[in-house]
Amino acid sequence: MEALGLLLHGFEVLLTFKILSLMMVGLVLGIFVGVLPGLGGPNGVAILLPLTFTMDPTSAIVMLSCIYWGALFGGAITSILFNIPGEAWSVATTFDGYPMAQQGKAAEALTAAFTSSFIGSLVAVLLITFLAPGIASFALRFGPPEFFAVYFLTFCSFVGLGREEKHKTIISMSLGLLLTAIGMDTVSGQLRMTFGSDNLLRGINFLVAVIGLFGISEILLTMEERLALRGHAAAISLRVVFKVWRELPRYWATLLRSSAIGCWLGITPGGAIAASFMGYNVAKRFSKDKESFGKGRIEGVFAPETAAHASGTAALLPMLALGIPGSGTAAILLGGLMVWGLNPGPLLFVEHKDFVWGLIASMYLGNVVGLVMVLSTVPLFAAVLRVPFAAIAPMIVVSCAVGAYAIQNAMFDVWLMLVFGVVGYVFKKIAIPLAPFTLALVLGNRAEDSFRLSMIGAAGDLRVFWSNSLVGSIATLALVLLFWPLLSAAIERLRGALVKA
């Protein structure tokens, strides 16, 4: 039980006044960000990242991850009270949450949402605590070919398993990878694709792109849709909380199933959005009383919320153990690690024990504190939605600009952010997925470096990716996932032929 000792050490790191207060600030900001339509987990984290540049890495990651937990909690508030999902992953929560609010059971629905979010994250954090160190120490044996194979696997699984049109996923991914290659080539020191511009010399910063892609473009989209807010009031009393908690054990199977779905989709790049829908549908399929779903059934709130949070949390597992983010937000946190001077990957567990275990401990603590906080402050945050959007929109724009500028103290980056904002808006409208773009932007340089180092090591022989059983099986799995749609169609056809014969 080495993990337990290290975890306790992590709690020691956390229990200082400074970190605890940063945690509270992070949670409040996060819930705020989650409640506001037009801002979300990745946006909030991206915009608030510059605040952390001068902090030490542990305080910074604790605050940022608390923003993330807060955003996950906050998304449920608007779904239930206003029928407006604050986040894409809380869309499924509106199916039963809003009907419950209409029937005057808003407090029950909110308690159910927060509690199941908490349970989902807890399961995922337990998974991280006991699995991540093992995976990381296994990955310490990786050389450049293995790392390239893992990156390749990540990209292939996006193309093969994503629900978007394949060519759009490929566009988004290759554009992201291409943009990271702009500037100085890290292996040879040669300049490429700068076209003589001094500003492009530095390359395109990942965070600048993300702030534009998520922050600015969301403002544009929200303005376009012009949301009218009409909601239900709610205050949660202790009596209601205990009433819901007493019912919890009855739904253990749903909670467990949703947690498992969430963890799986979080680790593989399926994401919280897919997880919440899948959690909801699976709960419905297993239920004896399918008709009552969508009409205000509490199980319909438990299922998607548990899955969304389990997935949102589990997405941090591959980030910590392998340096590969499982979600957009995890990708931004990873970008943060690099800004603070940490090298993401398995070595983190060896070289920065305080940081890693502080972060894991903060997942436990942040979720407990977050649960208590949202349960007690719902009316306050529901009131936030009555602040006119015309006041909030320009403030978000300014925060984005501050964030973009602060990263490298460059005005050029603010312009770049604006361009990415428009690109993000157009991409979202024509269904080019942004998640592969983000992932490519953050992994691009390391993917290329590991490829070239493997090539240098193997004197240009591509067979290095099948040179031993480990790298060979990862590379093969990557190809299988890439061609999965074709393979599964072929298997179907084969099975059909066999049945006929």
Partner 1 sequence: MADPAEEPRAVASTRAVDIVVSLLLAAFAALMAYDNWKSGAGWASDGPKSGYFPFYLSLLLGGASLFGLARAVAGRARAGSPFVNRDQLRRVMQVLVPTFLFCLFTQWLGLYVASFLLIAGFMRWVGAIAWWKSLLTSFLFAAIMFATFDVAFDVIMPKGPLEALLGF
Q: How far apart are CA 382 and CA 400, in angstroms?
A: 24
Binder to partner 1 among 5, 130, 138, 167 (CB under 8 A)? Answer: 167
250 sits near partner 1 (criterion: CB under 8 A): no
24 sits near partner 1 (criterion: CB under 8 A): no
Query: Of 455 and 477, which CB lies nearer to partner 1 in the complex structure?
Result: 455
429 sits near partner 1 (criterion: CB under 8 A): yes
228 sits near partner 1 (criterion: CB under 8 A): no
226 sits near partner 1 (criterion: CB under 8 A): yes
177 sits near partner 1 (criterion: CB under 8 A): yes
Query: Of 12 and 225, which CB lies nearer to partner 1 in the complex structure?
Result: 225
Q: How far apart are CA 259 and CA 253, in angstroms?
A: 10
Sign of dihedral through CA atoms 413, 183, 444, 50? negative
Q: How far apart are CA 257 and CA 278, in angstroms?
A: 10
Got the DSSP string for 226-246? -PPP--------HHHHHHHHH
Binder to partner 1 among 421, 433, 446, 475 (CB under 8 A)? Answer: 421
Minimum distance of partner 1 from residue 475's CB (angstroms):
17
Minimum distance of partner 1 from residue 27's CB (angstroms):
18
73 sits near partner 1 (criterion: CB under 8 A): no
456 sits near partner 1 (criterion: CB under 8 A): yes
CA dist 376 to 31, 107, 298, Å? 12, 11, 20
495, two tokens: 């099975």
Got the DSSP string for 399-414? HHHHHHHHHHT-HHHH
Binder to partner 1 among 9, 232, 352, 452 (CB under 8 A)? Answer: 452
Query: Of 166 and 243, which CB lies nearer to partner 1 in the complex structure?
Result: 166
Stretch that binds partner 1, among 8-16, 117-125, 260-268, 413-421 (CB under 8 A): 413-421
Q: Which of positions 85-124 make contact with partner 1 (CB under 8 A)?
A: none
Of 79, 81, 77, 111, nearest to 92 by C-alpha is 79
Helix (H) or strand (E) holding 174: helix 166-180
2, two tokens: 């080495």
423 sits near partner 1 (criterion: CB under 8 A): yes
- Nearest 5°: the CA angle 447, 451, 452 is 120
Q: Which of positions 32-71 make contact with partner 1 (CB under 8 A)?
A: 50-51, 53-54
386: which DSSP letter? Answer: T
Binder to partner 1 among 4, 426, 489, 494 (CB under 8 A)? Answer: 426
SS3 11: helix
118, two tokens: 């908490």
Q: Which residues bind partner 1 (CB under 8 A)?
A: 50-51, 53-54, 165, 167-168, 170-171, 174-175, 177-178, 181, 185, 187-188, 190-193, 195, 216, 219-220, 223-226, 388-391, 393-395, 397-398, 401-402, 405-406, 409, 411, 414-415, 418-419, 421-423, 425-427, 429-430, 432, 448, 451-452, 455-456, 459-460
